[in-house]
């Protein structure tokens, strides 16, 4: 059973709590902003001095960083207070992950530990397991890892070959197998490991000290070179029966729901890295002179910087929206079963954010290198390292192809677009953006009609159509998130940033609509087999009413001037 089949097999899994609060980055309280500043200071005083030294960073130095992070509370953001954590939820965890995005390879190690290395105990552990492991994990005394991927089970992660056999007396399990590309493998003191049992996949807690546990050599990677990545080898490892995590045969619930949240955490880290790359590019463009002018005075460079800002605005609007909705949905849940039901309902949202933020980051670091010119290709400039590090994000936590299939299949199950926002009234200055969103929804309806008439039976095997369906709905989700964020700023009379948000939203909606329309035309042109039907449906798409296109160059120049003035990404 893969992640999409898992959601489809439960009719209520995509139902969410009604009336979820729409959260934006501007809604953080002063206390939460202080946590962000604490994270920034940790990077400045502890992490970056190590990053600036020759790589790879020694393991003991990384352990010291974890202990420091634990000391200042960064490892226990999502852990209940009963076990020493801060219990601050997904929004604050996202804020910390975003700030850690500027920490290079350590960001990967940190987020794996604080996410998939810790959260399985929080949501699926027994009280005894939580009491034993969580205090050590959030203090940094122990480092956690998550072992799902195998040599022959990458994207098909639930088809693992690692076996777990229960002893006759029922007191221990014997595990055999290999887990590949495990982040923190060399550093970890405990691993969440998945194995096949007679009742199905099951999650286990495996201590590093258990006999038969060994670690392969460090992998030689394209990027994230300072993070540990190696194979976890299990040879007749005896696991106490009380180390089963969750229920026997229901390890897929642990794996898939923890991965959902990991994708959102990764999205936040990508946003943080993107903001860091943006600032490096902006600073270089202001400093570097060619033809007796600063690079930032050339309008083509300004356009690049503005486009990077647009990508960041859309990404953070959608990610914080999702974190806020998740926090609302999971609070006060009474059981693990309720948690599984609710979090599975966010599978599509988390996949959208993972795909969008990883691809936005790729765009941003690529343009950052381009703005640096030849210097961007040289290792002494940080953007070269950011460029290499960014590439992994489209692969791990589920490839973007797998995540697109997950998005599309949820849309198919619902039979409607991702849109959950109904506007009855909105500020007049947002009319253009709103009209683009309405037009985009109409395009989705046309695509779904074509799918129902011509592709319903075969759509699962025609992944190109699923890719387009995912892309269209992903963009619509981003447009609506930016729109609602800007609408909220106007309602709250945030005059200092209201105009900038409006400009960013207008560009997102106009350019996003163009992309949605192009994908819709490609979709229906390939779905309809005869020429007359094809002409008719394409005409229907082109007949959708939308605002006149605007002067995007002028808007982008205005945006970049605000960024130049502040010296960083700011809204």
| Active-site residue flag, 397 | yes
**CA–CA gap between residue 73 and residue 89 (Å, rounded):** 14
Strands (E), 131-189: 144-147, 163-166, 172-183
**Radius of gyration of the chain from Cα atoms?**
24
* Residue 378 phi, psi dihedral angles, 5° rounding: -95, 140
In the numeric block, which tokens belong to residue 252?
Answer: 């897929």
Rounded CA separation 131/146 (Å): 19
The catalytic position among 325, 382, 384, 397 is 397
Which candidate, 69, 76, 77, 71, places its Cα nearest to that of 43? 69
Count Cα neighbours of 139 within 13 Å in the Cβ-side half-sphere: 11
Residue 234 to residue 371: CA distance in whole angstroms = 47
- DSSP letter for 81, please: G
Nearest residue to 386 (alpha-carbon basis) of 372, 400, 399, 398: 372
Dig out the tokens for 124 from the structure. Answer: 């699926």
Is residue 209 within 8 Å of residue 182, measured between CB atoms? Answer: no
> Maximum Cα–Cα distance for the chain, whole Å?
81
- Alpha carbons 232 and 226: distance in angstroms, whole number: 18
Using alpha carbons, select from 16, 14, 4 the residue that is nearest to residue 321.
16
Residue 216 to residue 249: CA distance in whole angstroms? 28
Distance CA 256, CA 262 (A): 10
Measured over the CA atoms of residue 434, residue 439, residue 443 and residue 444, the dihedral's sign is: positive
Helix (H) or strand (E) holding 287: helix 251-287
| Distance from C-alpha of 242 to C-alpha of 550, rounded to nearest angstrom | 63
Q: Which residues pair with 192 in a beta bridge?
A: 146, 205
Residue 358: C-alpha distances to residues 215, 315, 320, 352 (Å): 29, 9, 15, 10
**In Å, how far from its chain's centre is CA 216?**
28
The count of other CB atoms within 10 Å of the CB of residue 220 is 7
Specify the length of the chain in residues.
571
SS3 content of the chain, % helix, strand, coil (to 5): 60, 10, 25
Catalytic residues: 397
């Amino acid at each position: 059973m893969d992640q999409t089949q898992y959601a489809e097999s439960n009719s209520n899994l995509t139902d969410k709590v009604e009336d979820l609060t729409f959260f934006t980055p501007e809604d953080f309280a002063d206390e939460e902003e202080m946590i962000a500043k604490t994270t920034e200071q940790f990077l400045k005083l502890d992490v970056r001095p190590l990053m600036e030294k020759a790589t790879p960073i020694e393991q003991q130095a990384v352990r010291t960083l974890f202990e420091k992070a634990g000391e200042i509370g960064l490892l226990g953001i999502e852990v209940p207070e009963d076990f020493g954590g801060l219990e601050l939820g997904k929004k604050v965890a996202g804020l910390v992950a975003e700030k850690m995005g500027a920490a290079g390879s350590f960001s990967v190690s940190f987020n794996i530990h604080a996410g998939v290395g810790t959260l399985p105990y929080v949501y699926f552990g027994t009280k005894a397991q939580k009491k034993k492991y969580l205090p050590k994990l959030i203090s940094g005394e122990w480092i956690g890892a998550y072992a799902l991927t195998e040599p022959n089970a990458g994207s098909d992660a639930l088809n693992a070959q690692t076996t777990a056999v229960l002893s006759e007396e029922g007191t221990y399990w014997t595990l055999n197998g290999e887990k590949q590309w495990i982040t923190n493998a060399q550093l970890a003191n405990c691993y969440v490991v998945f194995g096949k049992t007679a009742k199905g996949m099951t999650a286990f807690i495996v201590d590093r000290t258990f006999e038969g546990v060994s670690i392969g050599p460090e992998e030689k990677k394209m990027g994230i070179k300072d993070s540990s990545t190696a194979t976890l080898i299990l040879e007749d490892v005896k696991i106490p029966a009380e180390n089963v995590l969750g229920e026997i045969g229901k390890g897929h619930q642990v794996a898939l729901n923890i991965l959902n949240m990991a994708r959102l955490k990764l999205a936040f880290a990508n946003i943080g890295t993107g903001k860091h790359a943006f600032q490096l590019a902006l600073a270089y463009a202001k400093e570097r002179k060619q033809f007796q002018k600063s690079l930032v005075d050339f309008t083509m460079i300004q356009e690049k910087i503005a486009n990077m800002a647009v990508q960041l605005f859309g990404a953070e609007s959608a990610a914080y929206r999702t974190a806020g909705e998740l926090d609302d949905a999971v609070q006060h849940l009474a059981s693990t079963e309720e948690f599984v039901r609710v979090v599975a309902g966010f599978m599509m949202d988390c996949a959208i954010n993972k795909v969008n933020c990883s691809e936005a980051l790729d765009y941003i670091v690529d343009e950052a290198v381009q703005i640096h010119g030849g210097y961007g290709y040289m290792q002494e400039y940080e953007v070269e390292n950011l460029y290499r590090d960014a590439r992994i994000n489209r692969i791990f936590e589920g490839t973007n192809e797998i995540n697109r299939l997950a998005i599309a299949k949820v849309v198919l199950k619902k039979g409607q677009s991702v849109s959950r926002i109904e506007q009855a009234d909105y500020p007049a200055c947002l009319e253009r953006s709103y009209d683009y969103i309405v037009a985009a929804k109409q395009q989705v309806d046309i695509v779904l009609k074509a799918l129902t008439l011509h592709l319903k039976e075969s759509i699962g095997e025609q992944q190109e159509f699923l890719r387009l369906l995912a892309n269209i709905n992903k963009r619509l989700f981003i447009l609506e998130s930016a729109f609602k964020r800007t609408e909220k700023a106007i309602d709250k009379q945030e005059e200092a940033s209201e105009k900038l948000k409006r400009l960013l939203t207008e560009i997102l909606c106009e350019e996003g609509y163009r992309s949605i329309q192009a994908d819709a035309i490609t979709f229906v042109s390939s779905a309809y087999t005869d020429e007359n039907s094809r002409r008719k449906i394409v005409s229907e798409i082109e007949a959708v009413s939308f605002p006149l296109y605007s002067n995007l160059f002028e808007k982008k120049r205005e945006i970049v001037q605000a960024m130049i003035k502040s010296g960083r990404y700011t809204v």
